[in-house]
Amino acid sequence: MTDIFDELQWRGLVAQSTDEAALREALAEGPLTLYCGFDPTAPSLHFGNLVQLVVLRRFQLAGHRVICLVGGSTGLIGDPRPTSERVLKTKEQTASNVSRIKALVRPFLDFEGDNPAVLVDNLDWTAQLSALDFLRDVGKHFRVNQMVKKEAISARLESQEGISYTEFSYQLLQALDYRHLYRTYGCTLQTGGSDQWGNLTAGVDLIHRSEGASVHCFTTPLLVDSAGNKFGKSEGNAVWLSPDMTSPYAFYQYFLNIEDASVVSMLKVFTDRGQDDIAELERQVKEEPFRRAAQRALAADITTLVHGAEATEAVQAASEALFGKGDLAGLDAGTLVDATAELPGADVAVGTTFVDALVAAGLVDSRNAARRAIGDGGASLNNVKVTDQELVLTDEDFLHGRVAVLKRGRKSLAAARLA
């Protein structure tokens, strides 16, 4: 497909747009400039933000000019949540998050080539703006009766907590961003998640009223599973893009375990695979789901996109070593620790018997059960079958001086961490 908007629609990346016909015409006329903003409300972006990074990346590859905005000022306020007021971050916390996120987004876009991406911080043009100037230059273009109709605002107004004037004003700040980028870079398109529709259209309205110009915006659907639950959350914890918050191994495993009902749509969103390739993987999901070919392709592609090919190879080797017959001793220390971090286990000292280690790690409930497992040939240490019921763990058994991997049967794993 040569039309970027057709491709985005096929990949399921278009939810709403202000005027699709006008946007298509603008795209056909030649390269346009677009932007997406990311607020530094945490030290990392998460899986949901990756959708927008992929959209920017696709537009840049198609020859359009992209601007990546990190919200040093909007991050100090916080986009209104539908249920409760945000706890404001300090200026120091926000500045630290801005630095981390600026570094995080760079690998996704080309900032050095013939069509370089631009990275901006909205604090640069709002820090020196006085409240009076903001109210006179921006606030005068907004009508409160229209603002309260925005979905995020109306939900909060109907709640017991209500909404502060600070968060109520957030959409004005985001609108100001769009106008500044329109004036400075000729930006005429903004993208975001579907929950950002009200904030995006606020910018379109501001530019129309203050500049007399027509600009565009469109949103991407929120990613949900077959039950309608948001992806990227697990017991309230996001799947982060920063490796120090979600390890590459945990990241890979998350996508390796995506349900069959969602894997094809994720392949369309997050990979560069074409229609024929994805159609074949979809066939395999239907006819040979036990092979999990689509999940393996998704996990490999998205981990490579976020963490690089070398990290992907390392986590694939770790996965094979833990759940197959690979060489655990050949894993580097960081990957080994990441791969065993989520395993049940216990702190075990050198000199502990293998029988006691199995009990301590919770793989069996008694020493007799441990001896039976060994006698039946169903227990192993670092993927090596143990036959000696009197075996004692030595320094060499703790790989990289950190952990020994215990296994009972084919799938029951535990980590004996050096005490």
CB 100 within 8 A of CB 43: yes
Q: Annotated binding residues, as ranges? A: 35, 170, 174, 233
Q: Which residues contact 290 (CB under 8 A, 6 or more apart)?
A: none
Backbone angles phi, psi at 175, to 5 degrees: -65, -40
Distance CA 90, CA 75 (A): 10
CB 242 within 8 A of CB 44: yes
The token pair at 231 is: 């992806």
Q: Which residue has the tokens 């979600």?
A: 246
Distance CA 156, CA 303 (A): 37
The token pair at 251 is: 């990241």
Q: How many residues would you count in the chain?
A: 419
Distance CA 66, CA 55 (A): 10
Q: Which residue has the tokens 């994805």?
A: 278
Q: Annotated binding residues for ATP, as ranges? A: 233
Q: Which residue has the tokens 């560069």?
A: 272
Collapsing DSSP to helix, strand or coil, 349 comes out as coil
Distance CA 70, CA 120 (A): 6
Distance CA 324, CA 226 (A): 30
CB 51 within 8 A of CB 223: yes
E strand map for 294-378? 345-348
Q: Annotated binding residues for L-tyrosine, as ranges? A: 35, 170, 174
Distances 403 to 350, 357, 397 between C-alpha atoms, Å:
11, 12, 8
Q: Which residue has the tokens 């991407």?
A: 220
Neighbours of 358 (CB within 10 A): 29
User: Containing H/E element for 391?
Assistant: none
E strand map for 276-402? 345-348, 379-381, 384-385
Handedness of CA 349, 351, 354, 359 (dihedral sign): negative
CB 33 within 8 A of CB 186: yes
